[in-house]
Amino acid sequence: MTPLRRRLLILALAVLLLAGVGTGVVLHAASRADRANQPQPGGPTVSTGKLTLDQKGRLAFVNAAAGPHRTAVASVPSTDPRSGRIASDLKCARFYAAAGTGVCLQSNPGVLKQSNRALLLDAGLRTRRTFPLAGTPSRARVSPSGRFVAWTVFVSGESYSSAFFSTRTSVLDTRTMKLTPSLETFSVVKDGKPYHASDINFWGVTFASDDDTFYATLNTASKTYLVRGSLSRRTVTTLVQNVECPSLSPDGTRVAFKKRVLSRTDLWHEYVLDLRTLEETALAERHSVDDQATWLDNHTVAYALPTDGKVGSSDLWSVPADGTGTPRPLIAGASSPAPL
């Protein structure tokens, strides 16, 4: 081996070089983050204004356009989604609202761990209650009446590069403030028989208008199922396989969902399932959709797709729910759509 002094010199040089590179990438990312908070030329106009959840005829969403209002809840007129955005000062990773009740999932990096919270919002976007979350925000929904709220988070199992995650889905009754921390406490009927397993995961709840029935995805033994559940009876029943992130149409007859194209891949295709006939219709979107779609009305669904060439940003698109037509851009630089 070379003498100790020379090796120490090599080490010192390497430390300097690597520290330089490391500082460089951090500074580069920091300046990019600063730019993201500056309005970009050609971007949409976003202005601060009064945003409430009882303004009819508007579409609320999480604004992803660069500028000071990035990640803030904003809204546009449903009839003219390209017009100027009114932004609130509430920042969310995921958002949903119905009948004057809102839910906002937030995530902030912390010293020891991420700090994740769910905020229950009143119609003025004021926080009524805060709930700590066990993991990274994923899905959020409010029942059509505004009484029930559900959210799903990812919980990473362990440290040490364990590439394993589980989900936890909670349901909140906003009238009694009773929280069901995990749907995994509900009894499961799978293929007509009672079913118990330690590997059950639920995600993507969607509520019916009766404030009892809900639909969700159940995952066990590497298969996903659409389940219909009852909040009062605390049960779920499997209906069909390979259904993720269901979203119930306003008339309660159909469910939009994402179907895995190939097992073990992250490629999905958006479908609509008729709950009476269990017939599936592929929608006209050719891209892989990884989102819980939202019905704008009984004929159209909206969903987020990653913005081309921009990591970490998404656009909202809409497509007819009967499989016809073509996808149309709805709002650029946006996610979490919620028709008010």
List binders of another protein among 245-274 (CB under 8 A): 264-266
Query: Of these, 96, 148, 154, 257, which contacts another protein (CB under 8 A)?
Result: 154
Region from 20-28, 38-46, 231-239, 269-277 binding another protein, contact rule CB under 8 A: 20-28
Q: Least distance from C-beta 100 to another protein, angstroms?
A: 26
- In the block, residue with structure tokens 């851009």: 329
CA distance 257 to 260: 10
Draw the binding track, 165-194, toward another protein (x: CB under 8 A; -: no contact): xxxx------------x--x----------
Instruction: Decide: 71 and 91 in contact? Cβ < 8 Å.
Output: yes
d(CA 66, CA 26) in angstroms, rounded, equals: 20
Q: What is the CA radius of gyration of the chain?
A: 22
Interface pick for another protein out of 45, 47, 49, 197 (rule CB under 8 A): 197
* Number of other residues whose CB lies within 10 A of the CB of residue 11: 10
CA angle, 179 then 181 then 186, to 5° = 100
Cβ 65 to another protein, closest distance in Å?
15
Q: Is 22 in the site for another protein (CB under 8 A)?
A: yes
| Rounded distance between C-alpha atoms, residue 310 and residue 36, angstroms | 12
Compare residues 2 and 79 and give the one whose CB is closer to another protein.
Answer: 2
CB of 317 to another protein, least distance (A): 14
| 69 lines the binding site for another protein (CB under 8 A) | no
| Cα–Cα nearest to 93, from 32, 152, 36 | 152
Of 123-152, binders to another protein (CB under 8 A) are 131-138
Residue 267 one-letter amino acid: L
Q: Which of residues 312-331 bind another protein (CB under 8 A)?
A: 312, 314
Rounded Cα gap, residues 80 and 14, in angstroms: 57
- Contact flag: residue 336 with another protein (CB under 8 A): no
Nearer to another protein, 64 or 296 (CB): 64
